[in-house]
Amino acid sequence: MAVPVIDFSKINGDEREKTLSEIAKACEEWGFFQLVNHGIPLELLEKVKNLSSECYKTERAEAFKTSTPVKLLNDLLQKNSTEKLENVDWEDNFTLLDHSENEWPCNTSNFKETMVEYRGEVRKLASKMMEVMDENLGLPKGYIKKAFNEGMEDGEETAFFGTKVSHYPPCPHPELVNGLRAHTDAGGVVLLFQDDEYDGLQVLKDGEWIDVQPLPNAIVINTGDQIEVLSNGRYKSAWHRVLARENGNRRSIASFYNPSYKAAIGPPEMTAAAEEGSEKKYPKYVFGDYMDVYANQKFMPKEPRFLAVKTL
């Protein structure tokens, strides 16, 4: 069993219907799939890959040696304990936001310019992917994007768009700590440019953890909790995790297209996503209120979050 790989270049050709169907099936059955021929220039991806690795090596690797997960693992080993660390991740990360350009977290030459260009390309791909989901769900074109951009004026997007640049350094005892604990993503559409050499990312499928195998220059798509709600459960947000590894420094660059914190999110009115006779399976709420719940329940079962959030 392998995570679906879809050639996105065929979305505009004779195989459009087949490609739409492949994406729909991947959203319904996996919540995870890999896109190839997605339109982001390969030269840009190569620059992103090299500069991100350079940033970690020159600006962050030394600090990780004295980070909380390293200290906690060392404490565990000194006690000769074999109990796994369950409340920490063996991960170094920082997040890039639209409004953070004056406080750029990495000083590596050309990193800022490259990541601004990359984020622009990923944002365009996110818009295309949301339109595909609209079509597959029988929603009006632009429905999901509009739902995420509550209060948008003059074309200025209000949706949250962040890029988390992560590295998972070699771990001397990967059996004692998680790379990243199992969770679903809170938001909308996630677009991941992952390491093309080192594995570790896994998705839960039918009770089994499946490797999301490294595929050079692919973009991994996964759906978050808000897509599950907007599809009235047809598309489920998938549980995923990252394993710590003894060898290799795995790179992961995940971009999140999420609703505005003020956006009202709920199942659609009567459409293909909410067939006649089927009840709405999720409440309607403000995304910011959902995030308040998620902040405390990220690594806990998903369903209680929807019950705990304040409804509209």
pLDDT in tens, 42-59: 999 999 999 999 999 999
Tell me, what's the pLDDT at 102?
Answer: 64
- pLDDT for position 103: 73
Asked whether residue 178 is assigned to any structural domain, the reply reads yes
Is 266 among the domain residues?
A: no
Q: Which of 283, 195, 183 is nearest to 233 (CA)?
A: 283
Q: Name the CA radius of gyration of the chain, rounded.
A: 20
- CB atoms near residue 246 (< 10 Å): 10
pLDDT given at position 101 = 61
- Burial label for 125, CB within 10 Å (0-12, 13-18, 19+), is buried
Count of domains observed in the chain: 1
280 falls within a domain: no
* CA 149 to mean position of chain CA atoms: 18
Structural domain for 138, as ranges: 5-261
Find out whether 310 and 285 touch, Cβ atoms under 8 Å: yes
CATH of the domain at 197: 2.60.120.330
> Within a domain: residue 273?
no
Give the pLDDT of residue 272: 47
Whether 304 and 283 have beta carbons less than 8 Å apart is answered as no
Q: Is residue 281 part of a domain?
A: no
Residue ranges in the chain whose pLDDT is less than 50: 272-274
Global pTM reads 0.94
E strands, the chain, in order: 5-7, 32-36, 85-89, 92-97, 160-168, 177-183, 189-194, 201-205, 208-211, 219-223, 240-243, 250-258, 264-265, 285-286
Closest CA to 184 of 289, 299, 93, 261: 299
Pairing of strands 85-89, 177-183: parallel
